[in-house]
Structure 1
Amino acid sequence: MIRTIRPLFFLMLLCSSLTYAQVKDPVVEKIVKEATENSHLEKLAHELVDVVGPRLVGTPEMKNAHDWAVNKYESWGIPAHNEKWGEWRGWQRGITHVDMVHPRVRSLEAMQLAWSPATPKKGVTAELVILPEVADSMAFQKWLPNVKGKIVMVSMHQPTGRPDYNWEKHATKESFEKMKKERDAQTKAWRERISKTGYSTRTLPQALEKAGAAGVLISNWSGGFGVNKIFSASTKKIPTIDMSLEDYGMLYRMVEHGDKPKISIKTEAKELGKVPTFNTIAEIKGTEKPEEYIILSAHFDSWDGATGATDNGTGTIMMMEAMRILKKMYPNPKRTIIAGHWGSEEQGLNGSRSFVEDHPEIVKNIQAVFNQDNGTGRVVNISGQGFLNSYDYLGRWLRAVPREITSEIETTFPGTPGGGGSDYASFVAAGAPAFSLSSLSWDYGTYTWHTNRDTYDKIVFDDVRSNVILAAILTYMASEDPETASREKIVLPVNSRTGEQMTWPAPRKPTRVGGQD
C-alpha cells in the first residue's frame, strides 16, 4: 500500500502546485497592468530629480523634497506627514566657479564639497603647491608654513583616466599589467605620504587651514570616465574643492614642472544654523489587522555632487509608485501599509534608526520591511537576513510575482543579518523581518554611487518598473497572508577569524543633532 500511495501522494501534490500556479489573482493582474500601462515613474523622477534636485541633509532642497512627497501622496488620497526626528547643520550650496589664470586662462571642472565654506565675494586666487614627501610628522611641521596663501593639492595624480575595462579592451596584456603595477605602487606611496604627515585625509585639510592655506584641492576619482565621488569638507573657513581627474592632473604636472600655475576659486554657500530634520511617512490603513504593518522603505536624502538619481531617487520613486498603485488597486489592505522615506541615511541611517527608536509599537508588529537602495537596476538578490523561516513566507509571497521578474532573482535563505549599509539594517537589528531588494549593478559603484554623475539620464525605467511590480505584489501578499511572519532567528556561526560566536546586530542610537563639528 505504501508503494501505491506514495506516487499518488506526489501526483496530488504536483497537481495542487500546478493548480496554485495557474490561478490568476485579479489584484496581481491589476497591479501589473497599472504599473506597465499607466506608469508615473518618469514624471516622479523629473519632479524629484530635476526640479527638487539633490537632497543633502540640512539643506532647503531636502525640506522641499519632504514637502513635495507629502503633497504627492495626498494627491493620490494617501495620508502623509513629515515627522521630525532631529536637527542638522543647515547649509545651502551655491555656484562654484574655478579657473586657471596662469600660465594661461581656462575654466576648470570642479565643485566645492558639501558644507564647504564660501569664498569672499572676489574669490580666492593663489598659486598651487603639492603635498610633499616628508620623512615624518616633525619634518611635515617644518614644511607646513610653506602653505600660507597657497592652494594645496592633497590627492594623488592618477596615472590614467581610463577605467580598467577600457584598458582590458584595447591594451596589450603586458601594458595593462604594467599600468596596474605602477598605479598600485603609486597609491601605496601616496598613502604613506599622507600617513607620514601625522594626519589623516580627514584631519589634514584642517591642519592646512590652521597653517594659513588659501584652499584645499582634491580629486576623488571613482574609477570611470569623468567620474568623481563628492563628499563633505572638513575645513571651516577656506574652500575645499574637488576637481576632475583631467584638470587636476594637468595642474599637478604644471606644479611638478615648475610652471607655477595659479587658479581662481569663487564659491557661494549659505550657513543656515540648525534646521529640523524629518522622515516622510505615508500610510494606507489596514482593515482587519491595522496594528500590523508592512513598510516600503527607501532613504530620501542624497549626497549633492549631482542630483541623487540612483542613490536613492530610484528607490524613492519606486516605493511611491508602489504605494500609488496599491492605493488604487488594493485600497483596503488587511494590514497597514507604510511608506518610510528616511532622512540622513548617508550620515549613518539616522532617519530609520530614529523611527525604530521612536515607534516600538510599530516595530514589534511589523510583518515585513522591503527596502531598496542600491541603484536603478532590477532586483536580482533577496536574502533572508538570518530569519530562520524567511524561506517559507518570502517564498509564498514571491510565487505570486510574474515569472519574468522572479526568474533573475537569487534568494539566499536563511542568510545572515545585515549590520549596516542601508535602512533595512535598522529594523533587522530590532528583530523585525526586513529585507533588502538588491539590484543589478549597472556599474553603480563606479558611475553613480555618491558621484557627480548620478543624474536622471542614468535611470533605467524598465528596471525600476519591474521593481515596482515586485514590491507592490510582495506587499499585497504579505498583507493578505493569514499567518504572521516568523521572527525566529538562526543560530549564528562561529567567526572563523576570532573564534567567537557571532551575535545578532544590536540597535544603534541615531545621531539626532549632526553636522555641527
Structure 2
Amino acid sequence: MTVGRFRSSCPVASVIVLLLLQVLLIPAPTEASPDRCRQVRSLRDEIAGYRPVVERVLSYVQDQKGYKGKTWTALSEFTDTFGSRLAGTQNLENSIDFMLNRLRAWHLDNVHAERVIFTGWQRRKEFATLVSPRVKNLAMLGLGGSVSTAPEGIRAEVVVVTSFEDLINKSSQVSGKIVVYNQPYVSYGETVVYRSMGASAASKYGAVATLIRSITPFSLNSPHAGQQSYSDGVKKIPTACITVEDAELLNRMYNRGSKLEIFLKMDSKFFANATSRNTVAEIKGTTNPDKIVLVSGHLDSWDVGQGAMDDGGGAFISWNSLVVLKNLGLRPKRTIRCLLWTAEEEGYIGAYAYLKGHKSELEKFNLVIESDEGTFQPYGIQFHGSETSACIMAEVAKLFDSINATA
C-alpha cells in the first residue's frame, strides 16, 4: 500500500533508529548510483556514527532477555482474541479498542483514534459448482466489492483464458459466458491485476461472471480473498477467486475441447455510512517535534482468515518499534508517529481519509514507512523518493550488514 502523496525523504538522525525495527525490507526500486551520490558524502560520517545505536537496537530485539519474541507473542494474542477483522464489523472495532488501551498502557504520546466513514461490504452465502461434463464443487471466495448473482444464481458455459491478450483473442466467444482466468503467477505485484481488473475486462465483452485463479505461487486447494475494482461505465458482474488446482483443471479440460458449464451463486451485502477508526500513537521528537516520520500497517483484515500476516505483522512491528525505542530510552529528534490504518482491504479507505484530513500537515512528513507485504527475514530497503534521498538510504542500509540486510 502506498499512502497518498506523502513526501518521501530521509532525515538521517531520526530515521536510522526506526529502520532497525524490522520493518519489511526488500530490494529497492529507487536505486542509488555511486557516481550520483557525491552530494551526500558529507553525511557519511554522521550516518556511520549511528552504528553503535544500530547495534544496540539489533541486539535488544534479538536477545531473549530483551525484546525477542515479544512482538510475535503480542500478535498471537491479538489474532487469537479477535480473529478476522473485516472493516465495518464489531470485531474490528473491538480490536481497535484493544489497541488503544495497549498503546496507552505503554505510555506512548498522543494516543487517539480518528473516525473514518465508508461503504462496507460483507459476503454471505456463495458457492460454485462445475456441472458439466461432470459435477465438482469448486472452492471459491467472492472478491471484495463483488456484486451478487441473481437469487437463482448463474448457470453458463465457460471460456478459459490465460491472459488479457488471450481474452481479447477470444472476445467473440465471451458473451453470455463465465470467464475463467488461469493466468500464470509471475509475482504478486504483476499478477494481482487479474484479480483487480479481470471482472471489468471480461464484462466489456459480455461475460456474465468471472472466476480468477488465486494470486499465489502455492496452493493446497485454498482460494484467496482480495479486493477488486469495477471500471466506470462497465456493467458490474459477479467475480470470485478459485484455487490454483481448479483453475488448472478447468484449463486442461477446456483445451481438450470439453464444453464446461458452471453454476455460480453469490450473495453479498453493501452498507452505507459504515464507520471505523484509524489508530494513532507517537513518540514526540526532541529538537524537531513538528517534523514527522510515519511508520504504519493496517489492523483490518479479510473475513476468512485471522489477518496475522496481512497485516497483523505489519501493524505490530509498527507499534512495537515505538515501544522498543521507549524501552531503550532513545528519543528521536523528529516525532515518530505510528498509524494503524483501517479499511485498507476495501481500497486504502483509511489512508485516503487520513490524507484528506491532514492535507495541511503534508509538508511536515519527512518519511513514510509502511509494511504490508508480509513480515519475513529482512534483506534490504524498498524506497521511493528523490535520488539524493536514495543515496542517503543506501548509506543507512550499510549499517545493517550484521543481519545481512544491506540491499
Residues 1:408 and 2:389 are matched in the alignment: no
Q: Distance between the aligned counterparts of 1:136 and 1:404, measured in 2?
A: 52
| Match among 106, 110, 113 for residue 82 of structure 1 | 113
Residues 1:232 and 2:232 are matched in the alignment: no
Q: Distance between the aligned counterparts of 1:294 and 1:135, measured in 2?
A: 46
Hey, what does 1:41 align to over in structure 2? 71
Q: Distance between the aligned counterparts of 2:144 and 2:47, measured in 1?
A: 55
Q: Return closer, same or farther for 1:75/1:102 CA change in 2, 3 Å cut-off.
A: farther
Helix, strand or coil at the partner of 1:241: strand
Deviation at 1:319, TM superposition (A): 0.8
Q: Distance between the aligned counterparts of 1:392 and 1:253, measured in 2?
A: 51
The answer on whether the counterparts of 1:231 and 1:303 sit within 8 Å (CA) in structure 2 is no
Hey, what does 1:375 align to over in structure 2? 374
Letter matched to residue 385 of structure 1: G
Q: Distance between the aligned counterparts of 2:227 and 2:50, measured in 1?
A: 50
Higher relative contact order (CA 8 A, sep 6+): 2
Q: Distance between the aligned counterparts of 2:210 and 2:400, measured in 1?
A: 53
Q: Return closer, same or farther for 1:131/1:46 CA change in 2, 3 Å cut-off.
A: same
User: Does 339-348 or 69-78 show the bigger shift?
Assistant: 339-348
Query: CA RMSD, aligned part only?
Result: 4.9
Letter matched to residue 202 of structure 2: L
Helix, strand or coil at the partner of 1:385: coil
Letter matched to residue 271 of structure 1: F
Helix, strand or coil at the partner of 2:180: coil
| TM-score normalised over the length of structure 2 | 0.62
User: How is 1:348-359 mapped onto 2 (pairs within 5 angstroms)?
Assistant: 351-352=350-351, 354-359=353-358
| TM-score normalised over the length of structure 1 | 0.51
The answer on whether the counterparts of 2:147 and 2:268 sit within 8 Å (CA) in structure 1 is yes
Deviation at 1:202, TM superposition (A): 1.4
The answer on whether the counterparts of 1:128 and 1:255 sit within 8 Å (CA) in structure 2 is no
Hey, what does 1:364 align to over in structure 2? 363
The answer on whether the counterparts of 2:71 and 2:320 sit within 8 Å (CA) in structure 1 is yes
Q: Return closer, same or farther for 1:200/1:36 CA change in 2, 3 Å cut-off.
A: same
5+ long unaligned stretches in structure 1: 1-15, 165-190, 192-198, 411-517
Q: Return closer, same or farther for 1:268/1:63 CA change in 2, 3 Å cut-off.
A: farther
The answer on whether the counterparts of 2:219 and 2:243 sit within 8 Å (CA) in structure 1 is no
Helix, strand or coil at the partner of 2:211: strand
Aligned pair count?
342
Deviation at 1:331, TM superposition (A): 7.8
Query: Rg bigger for which structure?
Result: 1
Hey, what does 2:340 align to over in structure 1? 341
Helix, strand or coil at the partner of 1:99: strand
Deviation at 1:204, TM superposition (A): 3.0
Hey, what does 1:154 align to over in structure 2? 179
**Residues 124-157 of structure 1 deviation map (CA, whole Å, 9 limit, x = unaligned):** 36243327999999x949x84xx3xxxx331355
The answer on whether the counterparts of 2:133 and 2:261 sit within 8 Å (CA) in structure 1 is yes
The answer on whether the counterparts of 1:93 and 1:268 sit within 8 Å (CA) in structure 2 is yes
User: How is 1:250-261 mapped onto 2 (pairs within 5 angstroms)?
Assistant: 250-251=249-250
Q: Return closer, same or farther for 1:28/1:256 CA change in 2, 3 Å cut-off.
A: closer
User: How is 1:41-440 mapped onto 2 (pairs within 5 angstroms)?
Assistant: 41-49=71-79, 52-53=82-83, 63-78=93-108, 79-85=110-116, 87-101=117-131, 104-118=134-148, 124=153, 126-130=155-159, 140=172, 144=175, 147=176, 152-156=177-181, 201-205=199-203, 208=206, 213=208, 215-220=209-214, 222-225=216-219, 230-232=226-228, 234=230, 239-251=238-250, 262-276=261-275, 278-286=277-285, 289-301=288-300, 308-330=307-329, 335-343=334-342, 351-352=350-351, 354-359=353-358, 362-366=361-365, 368-382=367-381, 383=383, 385-386=385-386, 388=388, 395=395, 403-405=401-403, 407-410=404-407
Q: Return closer, same or farther for 1:398/1:95 CA change in 2, 3 Å cut-off.
A: same
Hey, what does 2:34 align to over in structure 1? none
The answer on whether the counterparts of 1:134 and 1:140 sit within 8 Å (CA) in structure 2 is no
5+ long unaligned stretches in structure 2: 1-45, 187-193
Helix, strand or coil at the partner of 1:117: coil
Q: Distance between the aligned counterparts of 1:220 and 1:271, measured in 2?
A: 23
The answer on whether the counterparts of 1:117 and 1:236 sit within 8 Å (CA) in structure 2 is no
Q: Return closer, same or farther for 1:101/1:321 CA change in 2, 3 Å cut-off.
A: same
Helix, strand or coil at the partner of 1:364: helix
Letter matched to residue 202 of structure 1: S
Q: Return closer, same or farther for 1:113/1:279 CA change in 2, 3 Å cut-off.
A: same
Helix, strand or coil at the partner of 2:379: strand
Q: Return closer, same or farther for 1:231/1:73 CA change in 2, 3 Å cut-off.
A: same
Q: Distance between the aligned counterparts of 1:24 and 1:206, measured in 2?
A: 54
Deviation at 1:90, TM superposition (A): 1.0
Identity %: 26
